[in-house]
Amino acid sequence: MKRLLVPTDFSACADNAINLAAGIAKVLSAEIVLLNVYEHAGSTYTDYVGLDKEFRATLMNERLLKLRQLQTSIKEAEGIPVSVVQYEGSVKESIIKSSADNNADMIVMGTLGNGGIKERLWGSSTAAVIGASKIPVVAVPIEYHGMLPDKILFTTNHFEGSPKVLDPLFELAAICMAQVYIASFSSESAEYAGMEDRSDELAEYGQKLKKNYFDKSLVTAHLSGDKFENAIEQYIDKNNIKLLTMVTYQRSFFERLLYPSMSKKLSYSIKVPLLVIPAEK
């Protein structure tokens, strides 16, 4: 990972993501690309007469100045390369386009959880990026004030056959000298159909990952319960996990309609950073 894209709206939530991204970039000798998006909400008439266009230009210039001030402060505090970019349009589309334009290896962005209307709106932007991104995304909740994770949990019931899918996880674990935990989940609830007990397969999968990534300290655990989210949150609390990792898969429209993405749901409520890796690029 050589370039991290970090969207910011200059909020405390975005600052949390910047702090974590700066820590990762420092140990990786990577560059941070700060992105600010102006989501235009004007009308065709005001654009035509120039009123909205002039206001928009003023506002974007003010934001660009803030970006450059933030760029300077990060460079001085962390000693890492930082560049800035500014886009106009929808937040999700701008972040996805910027990640491609700037050859980013990872997106690190804040999420406010599900406390109120504002929180849900920003949380939905993060969830939308998770669903559309072709590169890993780290969603950093406002409650998280830690730096680099020393314990990482990866949850899976797919037992990913291609080890390269998990390269971002184990690269991050290596630079942070973090303990990696691998967990599968089973439930009799219809909501989690297909999440049957596969403890034996999990143990075999753990041995395979230990060999592929030269990680003898890797731990496997089988979780069960009525709800996946509750089981994961309890395990995180019990083991003091600092980063949760999941792999996302492309699904049909009807699958997405009937079964909302678990990674998106967790991005609204999780209290530790969530690393989401796309299975297919």
In terms of domains, do 97 and 209 share one?
Answer: no
Residues 129, 171 within the same domain: no
Same domain, yes or no: 118 and 186 = no
Shared-domain flag, residues 104 and 55: yes
Which of 141, 164, 181 terminates a domain? The answer is 141
Give me the domain span that covers residue 229: 151-241
Please indicate, yes or no, whether residues 74 and 157 belong to a single structural domain of this protein: no
Q: Is the model's pLDDT at 275 over the cut of 90?
A: yes
Which of the two residues, 179 and 230, has the higher pLDDT score? Answer: 179
Residue 110 shares a structural domain with residue 179: no
Which of the four pLDDT bands, split at 50, 70 and 90, describes residue 115? very low
- When divided into structural domains, the chain yields a total of 2
129 and 50 assigned to the same domain: yes
Residue 117 has pLDDT above 60, yes or no: no
Same domain, 30 and 70: yes
Same domain, 186 and 90: no
CATH number of the domain to which 187 belongs:
3.40.50.620
DSSP string over the chain: --EEEEE--SSHHHHHHHHHHHHHHHHHTPEEEEEEEE-----HHHHHHTHHHHHHHHHHHHHHHHHHHHHHHHHHHH---EEEEEEES-HHHHHHHHHHHTT-SEEEEEE-TTSSHHHHHHHHHHHHHHHH-SS-EEEEETT----S-SEEEEE-SS--S-GGGGHHHHHHHHHHT-EEEEEEEE---GGGTT----HHHHHHHHHHHHHHHT-TT-EEEEEESS-HHHHHHHHHHHHT--EEEEEE----HHHHHHS--HHHHHHHH-SS-EEEEES--
pLDDT at 140 over 80: yes
Residue 112 maps to a domain: yes
Give the tens place of pLDDT for each residue, 47-91.
554 557 788 888 899 999 999 999 999 999 999 999 999 999 889
Tell me which of 17-21, 27-31, 87-91, 121-125 is least confident: 121-125
Residues 24 and 128 in one domain: yes
Classify residue 67: in a domain, yes or no: yes
- 188 and 89 belong to one structural domain: no
* Any domain includes 249: no
pLDDT in tens, 163-182: 688 999 999 999 899 999 99
pLDDT for res 252? 44
